[in-house]
Each structure stands twice: as structure tokens, then as C-alpha cells.
Amino acid sequence: MVRRILVADDEAPIANAVAMKLRNAGFEVAVALDGQEAYERATAERPDFIVTDLQMPGMSGLELSARLTAELAPGIPTILLTAKGFELEPKDLEGLPIRCVMTKPFSPRELLAAVQDVLGEAVAL
């Protein structure tokens, strides 16, 4: 079964790079360039996974995850990408299905590995 991933980042080059990497690995990827767009596409298409930037105009990555978790419990597994890693505290992630936080600049290789890990777990379950 082809896994569908939603990638959200307000920086187009980054969103495209992530999308390219994941597509090459066999995933179906949708790209959103801000939080609101990501939210709408997620509720409409119900992806299996989300890779999102933290700081986006309108809705942040955290808010996105929170709203989706509230509406589509148990929520969609998410990896958070951020340039401001040290500002996040464990309590910010509480109750959210955020499996991993990666700081920018990140390695696309490591990102792919992380996605496969999480989805691999889900499959195993």
C-alpha cells in the first residue's frame, strides 16, 4: 500500500526537496506552503504521515498537529522540522503525535530513515 505523506513548509525549496526525497523512496507526497493549506489538505485527504515546519504563517506546525489530533483522533504521526530547536520544551509536545523533532539544516537521508522507522512501527503494530 502506498503511503501518503503531507509535507508543509513555507519555504518552497525545502518543501520541494523533502517531497523529492520521499517520492524517490516510493511515497505519494502532497505539498502545502502554509499551515492553513496543510490543515485543509490533511482533513480532506487524511495522509498517513505529516512532515511539517514549525514556524509557518497563519498556523504553526504545533497548532496544525494539535488541531488535527483534536479532530482526527488519534491524530496523524508527524515529524517536526525547525530552525529553532532549543526553544521547544517537552511540555509543548505533550499529547501530540509528534514522533521526532529535527533541526534545520537537516539531512534528507536521516529524515527518510525517521519516516520509515515510524511507519515501519505502525505497520508492525
Give residues in contact with other proteins (CB under 8 A): 10-11, 13-14, 17-18, 20-21, 24, 33-34, 36-37, 55, 57-58, 81, 83-84, 87, 104-109
In the complex, the smallest distance separating the C-beta of residue 93 from other proteins, rounded to whole angstroms, is 19
**Spatial separation of the C-alpha atoms in residues 22 and 39, rounded to whole Å:** 20
Half-sphere exposure of 83 (CA within 13 A, CB side): 7
Complex with other proteins: residue 110 or 121, whichever CB lies closer: 110
How would DSSP label each residue in 6-66?
Answer: EEE-SSHHHHHHHHHHHHHTT-EEEEESSHHHHHHHHHHH--SEEEEES--SSS-HHHHHH
**Smallest gap, in angstroms, from Cβ of residue 73 to other proteins?**
27
Cβ nearer to other proteins, comparing 25 with 97: 25
Smallest distance, Å, CB 124 to other proteins?
27
CB of 69 to other proteins, least distance (A): 22
Nearest CB to other proteins, comparing residues 97 and 112: 112
Q: Which is nearer to other proteins, 39 or 49 (CB)?
A: 39
Residue 41 to residue 36: CA distance in whole angstroms: 9
